[in-house]
Chains A and B, each alone.
Chain A
């Protein structure tokens, strides 16, 4: 079954074929012309992302885009990070979810200003959503801006938010082949964080293999391993953030 429309995907045209939709246009006497366009479909997002980048540099904000599949532990990592950052560096958070304010409420409980973006149909944040959220956050020059993207390893890959660095999280409760299955998002990441390492004794997860797979996609990828709930590896993560 096709996950998009519920049809039997085996009966569909091959990938990268072409499709003719609805009824054919009626015959006409007007001359048909071929118009060369060469337009980048992502250009409005690129444009907005550049605008965000200008905003970040003007306010000396370091924007970090956190991406992972649902349940990899982004919000828990953020809570623990913000608690430890208190007194060291100002922080702001943008939360992306399809529905609810739940995550932003968890973040605000740490004393950090947070804006929740409810993306509705979209399963990713785009640059204009981030731009609108920026207007709702207090001015806080020199702060870290942590952007928790919608839990999804596919869709956020195509959308530049204007961030300084993209961080991808894989928890040990997932497969160590995640990088091979979702290469695009790993290709654009600066840092891979392997989370929930306290669960390693109970799961089948080969950390070495996961890192190897990820570096086949992105040879320059940095890697950190941590358990946000136990606190192991958090210092290295805070040091990495300090360098941003």
Chain B
């Protein structure tokens, strides 16, 4: 349940923004989650809702945007977005690749007043 740890970081970051920007209420927050990360969006949502105590985060809508990784094929050098670990290179069908990204978790933006 590493989603719990991540949600704790998420709430800490949001609370920090609330304090420094003197916000009253966070309406929504958008995350970009790499599709190759081992994060379960439903678990993330469940943890987030369980953690939103009466605070500026209560009622905040969590949106999770799936973001593929960038793969470079070791056989034919073509670059392609990778959604799933076992998707082959669309150009030559090879599986051997080098990856940039795909496992990141970013807080992209928040809506607040």
Contacts and interface: CB of A to CB of B under 8 A. Distances in A.
Interface in B81-108: 85-86, 95-97, 99, 103-108
Interface stretch (A82-90, A121-129, A136-144): A121-129
Nearest to B94: A219
B36 A184 contact: yes
Contacts, number: 152
A21 B48 contact: yes
Closest 4 CB pairs of A and B: A21-B49, A155-B2, A183-B85, A30-B113
Given A4-B1, A124-B2, A155-B1, A16 B64 contact: yes
B76 interface: no
Contacts of B64: 16-18
Contact of B58 (A22, A30, A38): A22
Interface of A: 2, 4-5, 9, 12-13, 15-25, 28, 30-42, 44, 121-124, 126, 154-155, 157-159, 180, 182-185, 187, 216-217, 219
Nearest to A4: B43
A31 B105 contact: no
24 contacts: A4-B43, A12-B42, A16-B65, A18-B64, A21-B48, A21-B62, A35-B110, A35-B112, A36-B108, A36-B109, A37-B13, A39-B107, A41-B10, A41-B105, A42-B104, A42-B105, A122-B1, A154-B38, A155-B1, A155-B2, A180-B86, A183-B85, A183-B86, A184-B36
A231 B9 CA distance: 44
Given A2-B42, A19-B61, A124-B5, 15 more contacts: A5-B46, A12-B42, A15-B41, A16-B65, A22-B52, A25-B25, A37-B13, A41-B9, A42-B104, A154-B38, A158-B37, A183-B86, A187-B99, A216-B95, A219-B74
Contact of B4 (A22, A39, A122): A122
Contacts of A4: 1, 40, 42-43, 46
A25 B52 CA distance: 13
Given A40-B105, A155-B2, A34 B111 contact: yes
